[in-house]
Amino acid sequence: MKKRLLPFFLLIIIHSTYAQDSSFQLKDYKYRTPGITVLEFNLGFSGAVSDVNAPEPYSRKYSTWNLYPSNLDYYHTLSTDKRMHTSVIRFSPAGYYNTYGQNDTSTKSHSLQYNVYWSYTDRYYRKNNWFWEWGNILNHTLATNKSKYTVWNTTNTNLLAENMFMLGFGKGRIENVTDAQTALYILNDLEQQGLLNSSPTSENTRQFAQLITTVNNKRVFDNRRRRIYEFTQIDSFLKASGLISVNDIRYFTTINDNWVMAYNPYRSSGSNWYIQLVPGGGIQKNSRYFKADRVNNSDKQTSTYTSLMPLLGYENYKPLNLKWQRNFSTILSFQKKWNSDETRNMYSGSESVSKIDTWKWLTRLYSRYSWGYFPNNRTAINAYIQMDASFGKSSREVVYKEMRIISPEIDFSADYFLSYRTRFTAHWNLNYKSIRAVSFANESLKSNEFNTGISFGLTHSIL
């Protein structure tokens, strides 16, 4: 009898461990905002020089200068009872300059490229959280590379333009509960300091979280004025609600610590399933020009494709309590892709043209299970396990008629807020990939990859 009761007692222990820290439940918060618009600009620059004087062939001179990563991002989100909208526009230019070798073996190359990415998704809700949705993804990249060798020059140009349209339906809703987490941290810390007149009710916490959402959506260009506005709104609410009546320095420092000096990662709550149909198409052009003494050769390749992909997805995000988060998502997709390739070669004044039409289909299952631990408002620890498995077949013109890929992965990451602008980061991952392929000549390919890596860093924000 005691053994039979053991699982019951374990469930009680687990439930108490994951119990919410107050009468307010993160999962009950509804994130409603008339819209958030963000414009960001990031500029990166790096360079390196290497000069080694040693006996040949060990002597080398190398330098590289990169304008990367650089991007201009525009984000817009909207969340109402009947509509959820997200749109992103990203412009990413980059430049590279490299020199290698010296004297008669010198090589110089420089390249310029840019990428434009635009995505748009609208989800319209009906009764009982049923929804239908549509969206679009446009991606365009242009890259040019010029290399100057001792006796010849090459120029490579790559152009990619592709577009995917999505139409689907499903049931369920995912809410952003980050602002509710911030509200709980502030109220909990104030209560621990003995600064509250009474314990906050569930309604107090919900209203405070909604105020934080409203404050975060306020656009103020002057950061000093913005900070004054934020603290004034928080102070007015806490006093108007009767939760606090003292003007203690601890009151200010507690709010400042949780508002300015905190690291609040994105957290979600809820679940949904969806079915989508995603048709798409694109074109890619690659050209290469080779020039030397009395020799001019060129290669031009043009590839166009159309694709059709139905997919089934499921997501579940659960804030177990203020400090623990558990997420799960999985996607099953089937894609059929038709390619048309044309190659033109110009060699010694004569031109050859070849054309080929191919098809491929791919079945893919992707699943991810993750946990998040937030012991305080400065620390975030995340871990996840994912599995990516695919099986595909192709037409006879392609090298392999069948290919299977299985790739499990484990990741751990940690972020710690050191100061107002500086954060310590750490990351470790373990990845394994197994590839099995069969050619049309029934030749088998077996490949196994094992990768692991660890990194540490400091992230500092100038603005």
Most confident by average pLDDT, 268-272, 339-343, 443-447: 268-272
186, 246: one domain:
yes
214, 291: one domain:
no
284, 224: one domain:
no
Q: What pLDDT is attached to residue 21?
A: 52
307, 392: one domain:
yes
Is the pLDDT score of 307 beyond 80? yes
Cβ neighbours for 357, distance < 8 A, ≥ 6 positions apart: 338, 339, 340, 341, 397
Residue 27 maps to a domain: no
Choose the final residue of a domain: 261, 285, 312: 261
Please report the sign of the dihedral spanned by the C-alpha atoms of residue 197, residue 201, residue 206, residue 207.
negative
Residue 243 maps to a domain: yes
The count of structural domains within the chain is 2
302, 256: one domain:
no
Tokens of 161: 């333009």
Residues 268 and 317 sit within 8 Å (Cβ to Cβ): yes
Residue 20 maps to a domain: no
Residue 7 maps to a domain: no
Q: Which helix (H) or strand (E) holds 221?
A: none
Ranges of beta strands (E only) in 237-323 are: 268-292, 295-319
Is the pLDDT score of 205 beyond 90? yes
Q: Which helix (H) or strand (E) holds 127?
A: none
Residue 10 maps to a domain: no
- Give the integer Cα–Cα distance in Å for 372 and 323: 8
Average pLDDT of span 419-445: 87
Q: What residues make up the domain containing 242?
A: 179-261
Q: Is the peptide bond before 57 cis (omega within 30 degrees of 0)?
A: yes
244, 335: one domain:
no
Supply the DSSP string of 53-76, one letter for each residue. Answer: --STTS-EEEEEEEE-S-EEEEEE
| Helices and strands: H and E segment counts in the chain | 5, 16
Choose the final residue of a domain: 261, 291, 312: 261
Ranges of beta strands (E only) in 101-151 are: 107-125, 130-148
- Give the integer Cα–Cα distance in Å for 458 and 84: 35
Give the phi and the psi of residue 149 in degrees, each rounded to 5.
-100, -175
Residue 360 maps to a domain: yes
Q: Which residue has the tokens 């412009």?
A: 91
52 compared with 173, residue with greater pLDDT: 173
Strands 324-347 and 350-376: antiparallel
Q: What is the pLDDT of residues 426-437, one digit of tens each?
A: 999 999 999 999
193, 241: one domain:
yes
Residue 32 maps to a domain: no
End-to-end CA distance of the chain: 64
Give the phi and the psi of residue 268 in degrees, each rounded to 5.
-125, 165
Is the pLDDT score of 224 beyond 70? yes
- Give the integer Cα–Cα distance in Å for 407 and 434: 6
255, 282: one domain:
no
92, 144: one domain:
yes
186, 162: one domain:
no
44, 120: one domain:
yes
Residues 109 and 98 sit within 8 Å (Cβ to Cβ): yes
Q: What pLDDT is attached to residue 7?
A: 43
Q: What pLDDT is attached to residue 25?
A: 86
Is the pLDDT score of 71 beyond 80? yes
Q: What pLDDT is attached to residue 463?
A: 47
Is the pLDDT score of 13 beyond 90? no
Give the phi and the psi of residue 12 in degrees, each rounded to 5.
-65, -40
Is the pLDDT score of 351 beyond 60? yes
Q: What is the pLDDT of residues 132-189, one digit of tens each?
A: 999 999 999 999 998 887 777 888 999 999 999 999 999 999 999 999 999 999 999 9
Residue 174 maps to a domain: no
Q: What is the dihedral of CA 240, 244, 247, 252, to 10 degrees?
A: -100
Burial of 247 (0-12, 13-18, 19+ CB in 10 A): exposed
96, 217: one domain:
no
- Give the integer Cα–Cα distance in Å for 382 and 26: 19
Q: What is the dihedral of CA 167, 172, 178, 184, to 10 degrees?
A: 170
Radius of gyration of the chain (CA): 28
> With b meaning 16 or more CB within 10 Å and e meaning fewer, what string describes 123-160?
bebeeeeebebebebbbebebebebeeeeeebebebeb
Choose the final residue of a domain: 235, 261, 287: 261
Average pLDDT of span 33-62: 75
Average pLDDT of span 119-135: 96
Tokens of 372: 């998040």
